[in-house]
Amino acid sequence: MRREGERPFGGPGRLGPHFNFEKVEIKDPWGTLRKLFKYMKKFKWGFIFVFILTFISSILGIVGPYLIGKGIDTYIIPKRFDGFLSFLLVLGGIYLLLSFLGWIQGYVMLKTTQNLVYEMRRDFFGKIHRLPIKFFDLRSYGDIISRITNDIDNISMVLSNSVIQFFSSITTLIGIIFMMLRISIPMTIVSLITIPLTIWLTNFISHRTRNYFYANQTLLGKLNGLIEEDISGLKVIKIFNREEKEIKRFEALNEELTQVGIRAQVFSGSIGPLMNLLNNLSFAIIAGFGGYFAFKRMISIGDITIFINYSRQFTRPINELANQYNMIQSAIASAERIFEVLEEEEEKEDPNIMEIKDIKGEVEFKNVWFSYVKGNPVIKNVSFYVKEGKVIALVGPTGAGKTTIASLVARFYDVDEGQILIDGIDIRRMKRKDIRSYLGIVLQDTLLFSTSIKENIRYGRLDATDEEVIEAAKLAHAHDFIIKLPQGYDTILSEDGGGLSQGQRQLIAIARAILANPKILILDEATSNVDTMTEKYIQNAMLNLMKGRTSFVIAHRLSTIRNADMILVVYNGEIIERGTHEQLIRKKGFYYNLYMSQFAEELE
């Protein structure tokens, strides 16, 4: 359940304190590959061109050893040098062309892959902005950032390097087997003795590395989440002297990530030595049988040389296939994490959607029920009506549901039961974009962007002139401190308004809302972070701003909402009292006790 005062987007979610990577598995590797191929199809001509070059390169790589073997039988053994120079030139030309084709295919593949991951990154970022806010409530921001950076970079690296080698290895294997069969079927059978063992080892190891690579990417996302949380909350950490505690949290998670990484790399790295062992075994078998067949004059020395070269070429693509297969497992793990987000259900709009050109600002709740977690309602059968241009105040203890009611008006969430109406129209029949275009919201937690103060205020209305920006800042009583800054309105803010006080950041957010000139205002503890004198200035500005606009004011300082047209007292998700300040005071109920407790504190 969301606590009162939290931002509507919710806090970052958390994985458990100890991550059990043994249980993490890729859910659907083949399905993930199919989805990845859909992206690759968009750039099919680049991939096709690379595959053609790779095929030609593989053929040339197979022809080279064959010519060397035949050159030995034709020129070296009979000591015949007529035409030998031409033979060397042809052989040199083949290998030069092979190198040139390798550079071309690398360049084209790199460009194609970068275009592919550009589109994937764009789709991912666009998807984030189309997802409902509830998606982010229980997810770590760091994990989401890790997916769009680390996971997509991993896919890019594997596609750039492994796909070419994988295709080249398969083509080379087929070509080598074909050439070996043409030369000697018995020697080919001898050369293939170790293949079943190689395939079994590759399958045995790859199954384990795939799961470890997925666990590695998941833990990396969790580590990013912890880092993001600690950096953003560094002041709180220092205030409570919790540096050592946070370092220990990091070390524990870092240790888990290290152990997963070691296991992934140990299994992945074992492929090479094991393949070398099998290669040497294969080479010894070929040499032994080749010597015997040569002694029996069943095969020439040149053909034995061809087989030895082919055996080395044969084991090289097998090694590459094994290694690249493990890298591809890593890319599949990353791709699955990307597609998990891309396939999340987006915010839905009612099929009978209405085009809203303008609104008056009437708001009505009819028997509204809402829960963040199914079966645990935080808003229970809430009903009220606000006439256009009126001010409604929401008061009550922390966690009562005040911010949730305001979030429902903004349609950050949809109700479970009941209706919310604006001008008599169910907001589920309105586009979220239309609703929010008529809203002005000032939250308790102020978000400012890493740009100038002027552009931060202009975020409320992008087509506003500089004069309108300055006027909004004056109404919010932000102008005086802004012009004292080194570059005034052109001062560039660091991340989240660093360098300004919390109260100054709040004033800029209020100026932004003023500039938006909304029909409905939501002020969630909008003056909670300013001093008493500044609060009075802002209250006067807000009174002018709220004239003619429907306003929802959430406040713990009850003195700030005495003039509201209606006060709703929210307790445990229900409205337990309603009326004007004077009516509620005369009633001497919950509001009276709440107000008098604050009044008593102020007297003290």
Neighbours of 247 (CB within 10 A): 13
Q: List beta partners, residue 373.
A: 376
DSSP state at residue 75: I
Residue 31 tokens, joined: 């399905």
Which of 158-172, 445-459, 538-552 has the weakest average pLDDT?
A: 538-552
Q: Which domain holds residue 582?
A: 354-438+520-604
Rounded to 5°, angle at Cα 51 from 45 and 52: 90
Neighbours of 87 (CB within 10 A): 16
Q: Given 342, 363, 385, which residue is the final one in a domain?
A: 342
First CA to last CA distance, the chain: 35
Q: pLDDT digit string (tens) for 222-246?
A: 887 788 777 766 766 776 677 888 8
Does residue 469 share a domain with residue 431?
no
Q: What is the mean pLDDT of residues 480-499?
A: 82
Give, to the nearest 10 degrees, the angle between helix 466-475 and helix 502-516.
120
Give, to the nearest 10 degrees, the angle between helix 301-342 and helix 152-183.
150
Q: What is the mean pLDDT of residues 47-71?
A: 81
Cα atoms found within 13 Å of the Cα of residue 491, Cβ hemisphere only = 20
Q: If DSSP states are collapsed to H, E and C, what string results for 459-521?
A: CCCCCCCHHHHHHHHHHCCCHHHHCCCCCHHHCECCHHHCCCCHHHHHHHHHHHHHHHCCCEE
Neighbours of 363 (CB within 10 A): 22
What's the number of domains the chain is made of?
Answer: 3
Does residue 172 share a domain with residue 121?
yes
| Cα torsion 566, 406, 235, 481: sign | negative
CATH (domain of 570): 3.40.50.300
Q: In what order do the strands lie in the sheet with 363-370?
A: 379-386, 363-370, 417-422, 425-426
Does residue 264 share a domain with residue 125?
yes
Q: Given 282, 314, 342, which residue is the final one in a domain?
A: 342
Does residue 157 share a domain with residue 145?
yes
Residues 6+ apart with CB under 8 A from 481: 504, 507
Q: pLDDT digit string (tens) for 143-163?
A: 888 888 888 888 888 888 777
d(C-alpha 11, C-alpha 527), whole Å = 22
pLDDT band at 133 (very low <50, low <70, confident <90, very high): confident
Does residue 552 share a domain with residue 426?
yes
Q: pLDDT digit string (tens) for 348-404?
A: 777 778 877 788 889 999 999 999 888 889 999 999 999 998 999 999 888 888 989
DSSP state at residue 147: I
Does 319 map to a domain? Answer: yes
Does residue 206 share a domain with residue 162?
yes
Does 555 map to a domain? Answer: yes
CATH (domain of 90): 1.20.1560.10
Q: pLDDT digit string (tens) for 265-287?
A: 777 777 667 777 777 777 777 77
Does 8 map to a domain? Answer: no
To which residue do tokens 């008593």 refer?
600
Q: What are phi and psi of 364, to 5 degrees?
A: -140, 130
- Closest among 419, 368, 356, 363 to 550, alpha carbons compared: 363
Buried residues in 296-321 as b, exposed as e (16+ CB within 10 A): eeebbebbbbbbbbbbebbbbbbbbb
The residue ranking higher by pLDDT, 328 or 405, is 405
Q: pLDDT over 70 for what percent of the chain? A: 85
Does residue 328 share a domain with residue 373?
no
Rounded to 5°, angle at Cα 159 from 154 and 163: 140
Q: What is the pLDDT of residue 531?
A: 65
Q: Given 475, 499, 517, which residue is the final one in a domain?
A: 517
Does 57 map to a domain? Answer: yes
Q: pLDDT digit string (tens) for 540-550?
A: 667 766 777 89
